[in-house]
Copies of this chain bind each other. A is one copy, B any other.
Amino acid sequence: MRIPSLALVFSTLALASAAYAEEGMWTFNDFPAQKTKAAYGFEPTPAWLDHVRLSSVRLARGCSGSFVSASGLVLTNHHCVRECLDQLSTAKDDFVTRGFSAKAGPDERQCPAMEINQLLEISDVTARLSKVTSGLADKAQNDARKAEIARIEKECATSDQLRCDVVTLFNGGRYDLYKYRRYQDVRLAFAPEAAIAHFGGDPDNFNFPRFCLDMALVRVYDGGKPAVTPEHLSFASTSPKAGDLTFTSGHPGTTRRLKTISELEYLRDVDLPATISRYAELRGMLTEFGERGKEQRRISLADLLGVENALKGLTGRHQALVDKRFFATKQSEEKTFRAKLEADAAKRAAVVPAFAAIETSMTKLAELRAELNGKEGHRGFGSRSLAAAVSLVRWASEKDKPNAERLPEYGDAKVPALKAQVLAKAPVYPELEIAELTFGLTKLREALGPGDPFVKKVLGQASPRQKATELIRGTKLRELSDRTRLFDGGQKAIDSSKDPLILLAKAIDADGRAVRKKYEDEIEAVVKKNSEVLAKARFETLGAGTYPDATFTLRLSYGTVKGFPHRGQAVEPITTVAGLFDRATGAEPFELPGSWIRAKSKVSPETPMNVATTNDIIGGNSGSPLIDRNGALIGLVFDGNIYSLGGDFGFDPELNRTVAVESAAILQALKNVYEARRLVAEIEGAAAGS
Chain A, 415-465, CB within 8 A of any chain B CB: 435, 439, 445-446, 449-451, 459-463
Instruction: Bits for A253-282, please: 1 = Cβ < 8 Å to B, else 0.
Output: 000000000000100111001001110111
Q: Does A588 reach chain B (CB closer than 8 Å)?
A: yes
Which B residues are in CB contact (< 8 Å) with A587?
461-463, 466
Question: Given A367-B568, A567-B371, A203–B462 Cβ distance below 8 Å?
Answer: no
Which B residues are in CB contact (< 8 Å) with A287?
284-285
Give Cα A587 to B438, complex, Å: 14
Question: Given A277-B276, A370-B567, A449–B207 Cβ distance below 8 Å?
Answer: yes
Give Cα A601 to B596, complex, Å: 76
Contact of A288 among B435, B463, B588 (CB under 8 A): B435
| A455 to chain B: closest residue by CB | B203
Q: Does A318 reach chain B (CB closer than 8 Å)?
A: yes
Instruction: Bits for A191-209, please: 1 = Cβ < 8 Å to B, else 0.
Output: 0000000001001100101
Q: Does A289 reach chain B (CB closer than 8 Å)?
A: yes
User: Number of contacting residues on A, CB 8 A?
Assistant: 55
Which B residues are in CB contact (< 8 Å) with A155?
none
Copies of this chain, count: 2
Q: Does A283 reach chain B (CB closer than 8 Å)?
A: yes
Which B residues are in CB contact (< 8 Å) with A204?
450
Give Cα A467 to B552, complex, Å: 44
Give Cα A594 to B68, complex, Å: 76
| A439 to chain B: closest residue by CB | B284
Distance (Å) between the CB of A416 and the closest chain B CB?
Answer: 35
User: Do A588 and B463 have beta carbons less than 8 Å apart?
Assistant: yes
Distance (Å) between the CB of A441 and the closest chain B CB?
Answer: 11
Contact of A280 among B203, B209, B281, B370 (CB under 8 A): B281
Give Cα A583 to B453, complex, Å: 11
| A467 to chain B: closest residue by CB | B587
Which B residues are in CB contact (< 8 Å) with A318?
273
User: Do B291 and A435 have beta carbons less than 8 Å apart?
Assistant: yes
Which B residues are in CB contact (< 8 Å) with A383?
none
Q: Does A139 reach chain B (CB closer than 8 Å)?
A: no
Give Cα A322 to B322, complex, Å: 12
Which B residues are in CB contact (< 8 Å) with A224?
none
Which B residues are in CB contact (< 8 Å) with A283?
281, 284
User: Do A284 and B292 have beta carbons less than 8 Å apart?
Assistant: no
Which B residues are in CB contact (< 8 Å) with A223?
none
Distance (Å) between the CB of A519 and the closest chain B CB?
Answer: 13
Q: Does A585 reach chain B (CB closer than 8 Å)?
A: yes
Chain A, 370-421, CB within 8 A of any chain B CB: 370-371
Which B residues are in CB contact (< 8 Å) with A586?
461
Question: Given A278-B280, A463-B587, A269–B449 Cβ distance below 8 Å?
Answer: no
Contact of A450 among B269, B281, B451, B583 (CB under 8 A): B583
Q: Does A487 reach chain B (CB closer than 8 Å)?
A: no
Q: Does A590 reach chain B (CB closer than 8 Å)?
A: yes
User: Do B322 and A270 have beta carbons less than 8 Å apart?
Assistant: yes
Q: Does A644 reach chain B (CB closer than 8 Å)?
A: no
Chain A, 452-484, CB within 8 A of any chain B CB: 459-463, 466
Q: Which of A203, A207, A277, A285 has the most CB of B within 10 A?
A: A277
Which B residues are in CB contact (< 8 Å) with A459?
585
Q: Does A315 reach chain B (CB closer than 8 Å)?
A: yes
Question: Given A270-B322, A292-B292, A451-B209, A462–B277 Cβ distance below 8 Å?
Answer: no
Chain A, 550-601, CB within 8 A of any chain B CB: 567-568, 583, 585-588, 590
Which B residues are in CB contact (< 8 Å) with A269?
268, 322
Distance (Å) between the CB of A361 and the closest chain B CB?
Answer: 14
Which B residues are in CB contact (< 8 Å) with A446?
203
Distance (Å) between the CB of A303 and the closest chain B CB?
Answer: 13
Give Cα A450 to B278, complex, Å: 25
User: Do A200 and B450 have beta carbons less than 8 Å apart?
Assistant: yes
Which B residues are in CB contact (< 8 Å) with A277?
276-277, 280, 315
Contact of A273 among B273, B466, B567 (CB under 8 A): B273
| A463 to chain B: closest residue by CB | B587
Which B residues are in CB contact (< 8 Å) with A268?
269
| A462 to chain B: closest residue by CB | B587
Which B residues are in CB contact (< 8 Å) with A281?
280-281, 283-284
| A456 to chain B: closest residue by CB | B585
User: Do A445 and B567 have beta carbons less than 8 Å apart?
Assistant: no
Which B residues are in CB contact (< 8 Å) with A567?
367-368, 370-371
Give Cα A439 to B289, complex, Å: 13
Question: Given A450-B590, A567-B367, A203–B273 Cβ distance below 8 Å?
Answer: no
| A209 to chain B: closest residue by CB | B451
Which B residues are in CB contact (< 8 Å) with A285?
284-285, 287-288
Question: Given A287-B285, A466-B587, A276–B278 Cβ distance below 8 Å?
Answer: no
Give Cα A292 to B289, complex, Å: 9
Give Cα A265 to B328, complex, Å: 14
Distance (Å) between the CB of A471 and the closest chain B CB?
Answer: 15
Contact of A276 among B207, B273, B368 (CB under 8 A): B273
Give Cα A615 to B209, complex, Å: 53
Q: List 18 A-B contacts (CB under 8 A).
A: A200-B450, A203-B449, A203-B450, A207-B449, A268-B269, A280-B280, A281-B283, A281-B284, A283-B284, A284-B439, A285-B288, A286-B288, A291-B292, A324-B363, A371-B567, A450-B590, A460-B585, A462-B587
Q: Which 10 A-B pairs have the closest CB atoms?
A: A284-B284, A269-B322, A284-B285, A288-B288, A281-B284, A463-B587, A461-B585, A280-B281, A280-B280, A277-B280
| Contacts A284-B285, A285-B285 known; 14 new A-B pairs at CB < 8 A | A203-B449, A268-B269, A280-B280, A280-B281, A282-B284, A283-B284, A284-B288, A324-B363, A370-B567, A371-B567, A450-B590, A460-B585, A462-B587, A463-B587
